[in-house]
Amino acid sequence: MDLRLDVFQLMPSFDSSQSGLHYSVHAPPVGGPSDVVLLHGLGSCGEDWGLQIPDLSRNYRVITPDLPGHGRSGVESASPTVLDMSRAVSELLDELGGGAAHIVGLSLGGAVALQLAIDWPSQVRSLTAVNTFARLRLSRRGLGRMVGRLILLMTGQMDWLGDWVAGGLFPGEGQTALRQAAAARIAGNPWRAYLWAALAVTRFDCRRRLGDIRAPTLVVAGEKDTTVPLRAKRELASRIPGARLEIIPGSGHVTPVDAAGRFNAVLLRFFEAVDSSSGDVGLRKARAAIRPE
């Protein structure tokens, strides 16, 4: 697959007056069975889903918000939490009026998706948690990188921070363009907004409420993710009722980019199973659809 720089290009956008979120909508020529909401990671924005939109928008209305304090979205609280971010997404879904949606979240966006499924379950048709966590507990290597990230952040040198973080996300020799684009994206964040979002990640803990999630759930793990340990994703799959874990070989933390073809195929199979059925039968079909191949 050709991982080109244009995955990060600007997409058509609209502003939400109620939730305060900037977002983009991509719809099929004929209305689809349900909406898909894609929630990005820390320091990024909705433009990161460029490799998913062409495949998903053939059959679904795809919504890509910028989370509070990211991209073009403002932030109302001086210290927003994951709950605040989830509430803003919930308000956006109310405003768009599409009913329950397939919610997909990467890393920070995955934490927001988990909170949404817990507190606003009627808005979640299915949940896909990608390289995320109920509580972030870093490996020794991950802890070292987090300390380095905080040091750079406190100096206010966002360009250095962007290079540091992007180097861990896209370390491959053939990923230079992606690494440069990710570095520029992260460097464009105001340092205070990035700090507030990072603190929201460290405070987030929904472990005790994972059993409350009733939406069909897929947990996706990049095999080579060095940011969020595999044990955190196994915890989600084991504690969310009926959830299944899909490990993507060779993928790192940004699975929707470095393994887009496999990721998109897994998503579409999961969505179609959920949409084609209801009740217990639908849950069984959805779970069967994401069994490892």
The reported pLDDT for the residue numbered 160 is 83
Cα–Cα nearest to 255, from 221, 292, 216: 221
Residue partners of 33: CB distance under 8 A and separation at least 6: 59, 60, 275
Number of domains in the chain: 1
CATH number, domain of 226, equals: 3.40.50.1820
Domain that holds residue 97: 5-137+205-289
Any domain includes 278: yes
Tell me, what's the pLDDT at 1?
33
CB-count exposure of residue 180 (10 Å: 0-12, 13-18, 19+)? middle
Q: Is residue 147 assigned to a domain?
A: no
186 found inside a domain: no
Residue 177 resides in a domain: no
pLDDT recorded at residue 266: 97
Looking at the domain assignment, is residue 94 inside a domain? Answer: yes
pLDDT along the chain (293 residues), means of 10: 37 56 87 90 93 94 94 78 95 90 98 98 97 85 67 77 87 90 89 88 96 97 93 97 96 96 97 78 50 44
* Domain presence at residue 179: no
CA angle centred on 110, ends 108 and 113, rounded to 5° = 115
Sheet containing 61-65, strands listed edge to edge, beginning at the edge strand earlier in sequence: 14-15, 22-26, 61-65, 35-39, 101-106, 124-130, 217-222, 244-248
* pLDDT of 74: 78
Which residues are CB-contacts of 205 (< 8 A; sequence separation ≥ 6)? 134, 135
Q: Note whether residue 111 is domain-resident.
A: yes
219-232: per-residue pLDDT in tens?
A: 999 999 988 999 99
Closest CA to 180 of 1, 2, 10, 8: 8
Q: Is 178 within the bounds of a domain?
A: no
